[in-house]
Amino acid sequence: MVEVLEDNVLLRYQDRQVITKMKGVSEAFLHQSRLEPFITQGNFKLKQKSESLAMLGNGVQYALSIFLVNQFNMLQVFYPRNIVGNPMLPQQLYTCKSIRSGAVFAVEKQFDESY
């Protein structure tokens, strides 16, 4: 069974940013996914050693001008927190994490620009 979490996120890479959808999936995704044949760059894996990797649609990759060979710049992911009430500081509304881009896929234009 594949566990999946999905939410809207803001992705930032260097001086570019885009709002898109992000899916967090369990390791079982690699065994049950039909996405592998659509990988156009990189490798179909979620981790390299202990580091998590992102798989991007080629539309998202294009919008952010991401080059997988550039290992110096990480992709920043801003996602909303579930907060009850009125937070005083805007940064309390979201969490920010960094992740390295590991692969690019091309399935269908709308899907590739959304994930």
Closest by Cα among 60, 73, 49, 63 to 103:
60
What integer pLDDT is reported at residue 10 of this predicted model? 95
SS3 46: coil
Q: For the chain, give percent helix, strand, coil, nearest 5.
A: 20, 45, 35
The set of residues, in sequence order, having a beta carbon less than 8 Å from that of 51 and lying 6+ positions away, is 100
Domain segments of the chain as ranges: 4-114
Q: Give residue-wise pLDDT tens across range 6-28.
A: 999 999 999 999 999 999 888 88
Span 81-115, pLDDT tens digits:
776 666 666 667 788 999 999 999 999 999 999 99
Query: Which segments within 1-115 are labelled E, that is strand?
Result: 4-13, 16-25, 39-42, 47-48, 51-57, 75-80, 94-105
